Amino acid sequence: MTETRGGTDTVVIPTGYDPGSYSAVRSLARRGVRTIVASHYDDVPAAASRYCDEAVDVPDPDDDLVAYRDALLSLARRPSVRTILPLRPFDPYVFARDAASFDRHVSLVTPPADTLDTVFDRVQLFEAAADAGVPIPETRRLADGADWPTPRIVKSRYNLLTSTYCPERAPEDAETVKSVEHVPSSETIDVEAVRDRMGHDPIVQEFVASSGQYVFGALYDHGEPLATFQHRQLRGDSYTGGGGVYRESIDDPELEAVGRALLDHLDWHGLACIEYMKDETTGEYKLAEINPRLWQSLPCAVRAGADFPWYYWQAATGRADDIDPEYQVGVRTHLLHGELGYLQSIRADGSPFYETPSLSRATVDVARSCLTDPHFDTLRLDDPRPFLRGVRHVISK
């Protein structure tokens, strides 16, 4: 603990190495909210910040989801704790499954279980998007699409594998499956091998050749938008895509329309990060996925003025009418260790759908963009320890 806020109102910020956690700590502490960083790691960058009031050890949700839920409930019972930010995939899930227990102690702005189940199951999600008139890639269950003779990708059916979606799992057993497999039209999918690798029956989607990847972020209150934000991904943590590590805030009415159409159709409540691909043939924004939590590229939104951690606090504490959703376009930010991951992917990754960039040219591009847009997620002169801790973590991996 390095500094104590003037008031006693407290927020819990669960995190792994989520880049958005430092932005959340800094944003809320600078507005007088006391911050507790909760993690099973002892070296998360956010906990090293001068704005972190307390760091608490919690169980690893990958090892025991029930124990993780119980630890968050224990923190929620503290009289000073007003809310908990959903930063990890596990958070909205445990909040929804045990809503009555959490609601007795804290105010949460997260989706109810039935809505969450729709977006966590990508088969249901894409059906809902089609009903909302949102463009989507053709999507099938693996069992129905193994012999699909077009370029396609295979990815997890669920945002989170739990006993709710995979009944053979124990309640404490949870897993995120982030791998995406690229399958050319000339290849046949080995169904059993894929199921073994992914631990369930995943989905197959048509490969969409895109001219860019985009994020639509939002905070909704029972079907009504409180704030929205957009960014264009300039680089991902892999040259084939992945999470954005160099992004630019934008404001495109067409992206706003498809983002709101989906959330309105779902009667959304809480945070949403929706990823879209821009089809290079049709120009349409096609849905990739939705995450009901704060997102990796959150620092870009906060630096542009769309302060979603503060918006969430305002909504959770009965001050949603005070939210000012305006933000600045053209703001570019970097996740520095993500930029290193991008360069590493050029050496290590491969895909039949993407030409591998020149490593030397890519290195020059990364360096040049860091000089022209020197805005970094955790590098702050007035609070250097989170960045230094993050560098140590990357080097030690």
CA 334 to chain centroid: 16
In this predicted structure, which of 9-13, 211-215, 304-308 has the lowest mean pLDDT? 211-215
| 197 and 226 part of one domain | no
Residue 187 has pLDDT above 90, yes or no: no
| 79 and 170 part of one domain | no
* Confidence at residue 397, expressed as pLDDT on a 0 to 100 scale: 64
Average pLDDT of the residues in 207-223? 94
Average pLDDT of the residues in 329-347? 88
Residue 1 has pLDDT above 50, yes or no: no
| 227 and 374 part of one domain | yes
Average pLDDT of the residues in 137-147? 86
CA 36, CA 328: separation in Å to the nearest integer? 29
Most confident of 145-154, 210-219, 307-316, 366-375: 307-316
The percentage of residues in the chain with a pLDDT greater than 70, rounded to a whole number, is 97
| 87 and 147 part of one domain | no
Asked whether residue 2 is domain-assigned, the answer is no
Asked whether residue 233 is domain-assigned, the answer is yes
CATH label of the domain that carries residue 346: 3.30.470.20
Asked whether residue 333 is domain-assigned, the answer is yes
| 294 and 252 part of one domain | yes
Say whether pTM exceeds 0.75: yes
Q: How confident is the model at residue 4 (pLDDT cuts 50, 70, 90)?
A: very low
Q: pLDDT for 112-136, tens place per residue?
A: 999 999 999 999 999 999 999 999 9
The β-bridge partners of 274 are 216, 290
| 224 and 363 part of one domain | yes
CA 172, CA 169: separation in Å to the nearest integer? 8
Q: How confident is the model at residue 77 (pLDDT cuts 50, 70, 90)?
A: very high
Asked whether residue 121 is domain-assigned, the answer is no
The percentage of residues in the chain with a pLDDT greater than 90, rounded to a whole number, is 72
The domain of 288 spans 210-396
| 245 and 102 part of one domain | no
| 184 and 229 part of one domain | no
Q: How confident is the model at residue 224 (pLDDT cuts 50, 70, 90)?
A: very high
| 355 and 387 part of one domain | yes
Phi, psi of 33 (to 5 degrees): -90, 130
For all residues of the chain together, what is the average pLDDT?
A: 92
Nearest CA-CA partner of 120 in 162, 80, 85: 162
Residue 353 has pLDDT above 80, yes or no: no
Asked whether residue 124 is domain-assigned, the answer is no
Asked whether residue 275 is domain-assigned, the answer is yes
| 238 and 384 part of one domain | yes
Residue 296 has pLDDT above 50, yes or no: yes
| 379 and 233 part of one domain | yes
Average pLDDT of the residues in 266-279? 96
Quote the number of domains for the chain.
3
| 152 and 102 part of one domain | no
Q: How many CB atoms lie within 10 A of CB 292?
A: 26
* Confidence at residue 328, expressed as pLDDT on a 0 to 100 scale: 98
Asked whether residue 3 is domain-assigned, the answer is no
Asked whether residue 123 is domain-assigned, the answer is no
CATH label of the domain that carries residue 73: 3.40.50.720
* Confidence at residue 317, expressed as pLDDT on a 0 to 100 scale: 97
Residue 86 has pLDDT above 70, yes or no: yes
Residue 10 has pLDDT above 50, yes or no: yes
Among residues 161, 185, 206, which one ends one of the domains? 206
